[in-house]
Amino acid sequence: MEFFNREKEIQDLLNMIRQEPNLITFIYGPINSGKTSLMLEVIKRLPREYVAFYIDLRGYAVTRREEFLKVLFETYDEETFRKKVYNILRGVENFHKAIPILKHIWKEFFKIEEVSDAFKHVENFLQELYNKGLKPIIIFDELQVIKDIRINNFLIYRLFNFFVRLSKVLHICHVFAITSDSTFIERIYNEAMLQGRSRYYLVDDFDKETVEKILKEKGFSDEEIDIVWRYFGGKPIYLVEAIQAKRVGKDVKELCEEFYRLRRRQVLDLLYKLEEENKNLFDRVTKFLKGFETRDKIKYKRISKELSWLINNNILFLDPANEIIKPQSHLELLAIRNILKEFKP
């Protein structure tokens, strides 16, 4: 699959990585804006001395400490472990989806009802790489998956402490955490223990100029570009769909409308259900949505019940750093505007 643009974002992130590790970087943005793809592209472009550990929590039902340890580590027997470490140190293998560990050590961690030893082990491992002249980077994708796990305290806070230690205290490892969960990023943004220790990097959908450039190169007419922008905005995943559709001779407008009808239906169903279950909240939600009748984003004040409902149902996206609330994509914006007419008394 071809990778579009993102030069600015790639350079921004590479610049952060070139500096000595200091802050934890939280990468956030609307759903499907291309956060994961971007990070993987950045990793591809890293010079040889960097070693990336990309830990993807998506797709795993990580609800307990044991499951977290399974995702965090990959176990090896003595011989394969030695080979693995040898290859890492030679700079041959510089992309990993877990921290390599000897099986018997991992089993010990598994028995103890704690995570401190496991974190200490990761720290020692990264420190060793650092001492050998390598530059480790650790990335947690879909970090919100573990937000509710408790081990004495919430695991997420233990992890934040650990991140602060790796970056700000020891300066041995860059730490990135990716999430598309707006309420989670809002919580993190206001988290006292992260003040002055973290930064927030927004990966948004493409802007109009970029969309025009991408689609022009793919042979889209001005009219087709207008339609795609109106329905899909700069959401990479939809642009990919539009390009593929055009390639096989499908009508672009038809595709846009198909997606729109589906999304409108989904949003409408959610609202009907809410109306049945909680009329008061429903009224608040529709009132809130009226803010989008003439605007495509509104200023964020606080997380009210209705806003929380709209965010949790993936209709709206909240950007705490820029204090903005907007629909997850143009499809939602169009759906909201259309549905509001339906609900007018």
Q: For binding to ligand ATP (CB under 6 A), which residues are involved? A: 1, 3-4, 6, 29, 31-37, 180, 236-237, 240
Query: Least distance in Å: CB of 188 to ligand ATP?
Result: 16
C-beta of 224 vs 319, nearer to Mg ion: 319
Query: Least distance in Å: CB of 5 to ligand ATP?
Result: 6
Q: Answer whether 213's CB lies under 8 Å from 243's CB.
A: no
Query: Least distance in Å: CB of 294 to ligand ATP?
Result: 28
Residue 201: in which H helix or E strand, if any? strand 198-202
Query: Least distance in Å: CB of 35 to Mg ion?
Result: 5
- The C-alpha atoms of residue 163 and residue 71 are separated, in whole angstroms, by 17
Question: CB-hemisphere CA count at 13 Å for 261?
Answer: 6
C-beta of 3 vs 86, nearer to ligand ATP: 3
Give the type of residue at 118: A
C-beta of 237 vs 339, nearer to ligand ATP: 237
C-beta of 36 vs 286, nearer to Mg ion: 36
Contacts with Mg ion, residue ranges (CB under 5 A): 35-36
Q: Which does 136 bind (CB under 5 to 8 A by kind): Mg ion, ligand ATP, none?
A: none
Per DSSP bridges, beta strands 174-179 and 298-299 are: unpaired
What token pair was written down for 244? 């593929």
Rg from Cα positions in the chain: 22
**Residue number of the CB atom closest to Mg ion:** 36
Query: Least distance in Å: CB of 12 to ligand ATP?
Result: 14
Q: How far is CA 285 from CA 119, 292, 298, in A?
A: 43, 12, 14
**Residue number of the CB atom closest to ligand ATP:** 34
Q: Which does 240 bind (CB under 5 to 8 A by kind): ligand ATP, Mg ion, none?
A: ligand ATP
Query: Least distance in Å: CB of 313 to ligand ATP?
Result: 15
Q: Which does 32 bind (CB under 5 to 8 A by kind): ligand ATP, Mg ion, none?
A: ligand ATP
C-beta of 204 vs 224, nearer to ligand ATP: 204
- The C-alpha atoms of residue 97 and residue 99 are separated, in whole angstroms, by 7
Q: Answer whether 20's CB lies under 8 Å from 167's CB.
A: no
C-beta of 286 vs 328, nearer to Mg ion: 328
Q: DSSP E strands: which ranges in 103-212?
A: 135-141, 150-151, 153-154, 174-179, 198-202
Secondary structure class of 85 (helix, strand, coil): helix
C-beta of 39 vs 175, nearer to ligand ATP: 39
Q: Which does 284 bind (CB under 5 to 8 A by kind): ligand ATP, Mg ion, none?
A: none
- Who contacts 338 (Cβ-Cβ below 8 Å, separation ≥6)? 264
Query: Least distance in Å: CB of 250 to Mg ion?
Result: 27
- The C-alpha atoms of residue 175 and residue 140 are separated, in whole angstroms, by 8
- The C-alpha atoms of residue 229 and residue 208 are separated, in whole angstroms, by 7
